[in-house]
Amino acid sequence: MVMQDLQRIPSRMKALVLHDTEHTADVKDHPVPELQDNDILVKVAYVAQNPTDWKHVAFWGKPKATDGCDYSGKVVALGKNLKDDSWQIGDLAAGIVHGGQFKDRGAFAEYLRVPSNAAWKVPTSSSKVGLREAPVYGIGFGTAAQALYARLDVPYPPAKVQGDEWFIVYGGSTSVGLFAVQLARLAGFKVVATCSPKNFDLVKNYGADEVVDYKNAEEAIKKIRSVTGESLRRGLDTISETSSLKIVLNSYADSDANGKRKLQLLLPISDEGKELAEKRGIQAETNWVYTCISDTFHFFQDITIQGIPSDREFYAKLSKDTPTFIEEYGIRPNPITNMPGGLGGLLKGFEFMASGKVSASKLVYKVQDV
């Protein structure tokens, strides 16, 4: 470290660490990570929870890794050769790291190291977003932005599509879905989204032109095709199960006459979904936001994902531009549920998520004052 805050940075901290043999995690005493040349050290103030966090613990995480992806906090130390040398001690930072895979990375900790060009500056003068809201612009925002801008050829702002074109967001009330709805509207699309009727007003409030109940598949397909004039050719399925794929794929236009039909998923496509996509001639691909922030990593035994340099470049640009998305373009965070217990409360949040008790809200935990 070439620079650090005047306050003493400890050598040990509290962190949520995966067990070395069991699929569990505990808050443990853990080393404060040592900085690499391009890293900033963040004293973590708040963290937000995602399904991937509990799934890393339950299924695909690495033993003794620190869990957690979404964070906000204050910069307390700088590496000696930053790719983004605009960072200063005392800046407020937020972003994504790949928790659950590495011993010295993971947001669910009192201190966090993150590459200088993979974090964004929380505006201290902002009336819209502070440290509490900032971690919500993590996995959800990054995934939606990557899917739209880097995979689906959606114009990057301030550019917009020409003419009337529809975009579908399946699972519009999810974290990724609420961001995708806003980003699609920002790009000039009309947006149709699926969700439960109890969330219709919320999803409309975030920008959807039409909302459709997904529970009756045939009726949903009929309504989506009617609303979009059978012209749909781009979309994001945030649920990515066979049942959701059947609705989305059958709602698309019947040909590529107006442009290639593409669908982004958040999970590996099922065999049945793949067969339907091929039958309909629709390009359906899985989007992994980890390709923006990580190297090689493994999900289960048969899925290996490689980091993609162009995705890292994309996320570096997105990080620089995130304050603009918030302040100028008005991209709002998900609704927040404040959770008690700090790092110690995360396991209860995992239980809520795994049992399906979290809907249309982001669980946020305060770690410490910074």
In the chain, domain spans: 3-137+333-366, 141-287
Calculate mean pLDDT across residues 54-59.
88
* Side chain identity at residue 122, one-letter code: V
Task: Name the percent of the chain lying above pLDDT 90.
Answer: 80
pLDDT given at position 1: 46
Let me know the angle formed at the C-alpha of 45 by 40 and 46, rounded to the nearest 5 degrees.
110
Question: Is residue 51 reached through a cis peptide bond, with omega within 30 degrees of 0 on the bond before it?
Answer: no
* Confidence category of residue 299, pLDDT binned at 50, 70, 90: low
Calculate mean pLDDT across residues 8-27.
91
pLDDT given at position 60: 82
Q: Which pTM does this prediction carry?
A: 0.94
Q: How far apart are CA 136 and CA 70, in angstroms?
A: 7
Calculate mean pLDDT across residues 34-46.
96
In 3D space, the residue among 156, 201, 193, 154 whose CA is nearest the CA of residue 177 turns out to be 193
* Confidence category of residue 359, pLDDT binned at 50, 70, 90: confident
Helix segments in the chain, DSSP class H: 51-55, 139-145, 175-186, 200-205, 217-227, 242-251, 271-280, 309-327, 346-354
Calculate mean pLDDT across residues 64-73.
96
Kindly report, residue by residue over 163-172, the tens digit of the pLDDT: 899 999 999 9
Would you list the DSSP string of 214-243?
A: -SSHHHHHHHHHHHTTT---EEEESS-SHH
Decide if pLDDT at 4 tops 90: no
Decide if pLDDT at 6 tops 70: no
User: The tokens of 216 are what?
Assistant: 């009756």
pLDDT given at position 258: 86
Kindly report, residue by residue over 347-356, the tens digit of the pLDDT: 999 988 888 8
User: The tokens of 149 are what?
Assistant: 């801008």
The residue count of the chain comes to: 370
Calculate mean pLDDT across residues 90-104.
94
Q: How far apart are CA 55 and CA 62, in angstroms?
A: 11
What topology is assigned to 141-287 in CATH?
Rossmann fold (3.40.50)
* Residue appearing with tokens 């032109």: 209
pLDDT given at position 303: 73
Any bridge partners for residue 169, and if so which? Answer: 193, 236
Decide if pLDDT at 313 tops 80: yes
* Confidence category of residue 188, pLDDT binned at 50, 70, 90: very high
Q: How far apart are CA 288 and CA 306, in angstroms?
A: 10
Calculate mean pLDDT across residues 184-189.
98
Which letter does DSSP use for residue 66 in this model? Answer: B
* Confidence category of residue 315, pLDDT binned at 50, 70, 90: very high
The average confidence (pLDDT) of the chain is: 93
* Confidence category of residue 87, pLDDT binned at 50, 70, 90: very high
Burial of residue 10 (CB within 10 Å: 0-12, 13-18, 19+) is exposed
pLDDT given at position 20: 85
pLDDT given at position 300: 61
Contact 176, 236 (CB under 8 A): yes
Other Cβ atoms within 10 Å of 88 Cβ, number:
11
Sign of the C-alpha dihedral, residues 252, 255, 258, 261? positive
How do the residues of the chain divide into helix, strand and coil, expressed in percent and rounded to 5?
30, 25, 45
**Which architecture characterizes domain 3-137+333-366 according to CATH?**
Alpha-Beta Complex (3.90)
pLDDT given at position 7: 62
